Amino acid sequence: MVVFSTFSITARCPETGMLGVAVSTARPAVGSLAPYVKAGVGAIATQALVNPFYGIDGLNYLESGLSPEEVLEKLLAADEEKEKRQLAIVSNNGEVLGYTGSDTVPWQGHHLGEGFVVAGNMLTGPETLDAMKRTYETSQKSFPEKLLDVLKSGQEAGGDKRGKQSAALYIVDTEQYPYIDLRVDEHSNPVAELIRVYRVCEKDLFPYTKNLPKRQKKGGGSSDE
């Protein structure tokens, strides 16, 4: 049993169409099990008593044409421990849905916004998600930096009441491979470290990855059409 008492944002950028999840928790390696994102399909964060199939099956259901509400209905119907789960879904067209089971650990909850969901459990209080929602809605930064700012504001507002350990940022653009995939798996201040690693990548990685081969155009068609 893996419990990610976690705070996260799951979002779609209205300007670029990018999809992503940013997440932090007081267990190691949150990026290995919580975020599930697929270009042209959607983004899902599974937390509390983690069920990876919420992410795996959920993306498959979205890709088949189901709405987030239909996806949630199918996932919950197949799960005897659904009241211990927490889930956030954002579809490729910006539809959003959040679910917080009644047996998750307080403080727990989620907020829905335009194209995003902030969610958390075992938090110091509602101020964590309030700060995250406010930050996302007011930030004028790029999509990756906006997600990092949301995590930072959640941490500064209280975050996981047990402490800090890991954080992750996973974003897709048009391709099957990630646009950004960064993880801090064990650190005393993981959100700050994630931001530091992002700054390093701005100089030493992103100038090169932006020139990787591409098969999809921004509009969703093949690049060789």
For 147-162, the pLDDT digits (tens) are 999 999 999 998 777 7
pTM: 0.94
pLDDT of residue 4: 59
- Examine the pLDDT at 1 and tell me if it is beyond 60: no
- Map tokens 């199939």 to a residue: 53
What is the Cα–Cα distance from 179 to 181, expressed in whole angstroms? 7
- Map tokens 């960064």 to a residue: 182
Question: For the residues 52-72, what does the mean pLDDT come to?
Answer: 98
What is the Cα–Cα distance from 172 to 25, expressed in whole angstroms? 22
Question: For the residues 185-202, what does the mean pLDDT come to?
Answer: 97
Average pLDDT, whole number, for the chain? 93
pLDDT of residue 216: 79
The H-or-E segment that residue 142 falls in is none
Q: Which of 64, 19, 8, 23 is nearest to 42 (CA)?
A: 19
pLDDT of residue 2: 61
Any bridge partners for residue 172, and if so which?
Answer: 19
The confidence band for 164, taking pLDDT boundaries of 50, 70 and 90, is: confident
Which tokens belong to 48? 């509390």
- Examine the pLDDT at 201 and tell me if it is beyond 90: yes
Any bridge partners for residue 167, and if so which?
Answer: 24, 184
* Architecture field, domain 3-209: 4-Layer Sandwich (3.60)
pLDDT of residue 72: 98
Ranges 124-138, 158-172, 210-224: which has the least confidence: 210-224
Any bridge partners for residue 22, and if so which?
Answer: 9, 169
Q: Which of 180, 174, 171, 172 is nearest to 222 (CA)?
A: 174
pLDDT of residue 224: 44
Contact yes or no for 159/24 (Cβ under 8 A): yes
Question: For the residues 59-78, what does the mean pLDDT come to?
Answer: 98
pLDDT digits (tens, 9 = 90+) for 94-110: 999 999 999 999 999 99
The confidence band for 225, taking pLDDT boundaries of 50, 70 and 90, is: very low
Q: Which of 207, 142, 183 is nearest to 22 (CA)?
A: 183
CA atoms within 13 A on the CB side of 66: 17
Residue % of the chain over a pLDDT of 70: 94
Q: Give CA angle at 113 (109, 114), nearest 5°.
A: 160
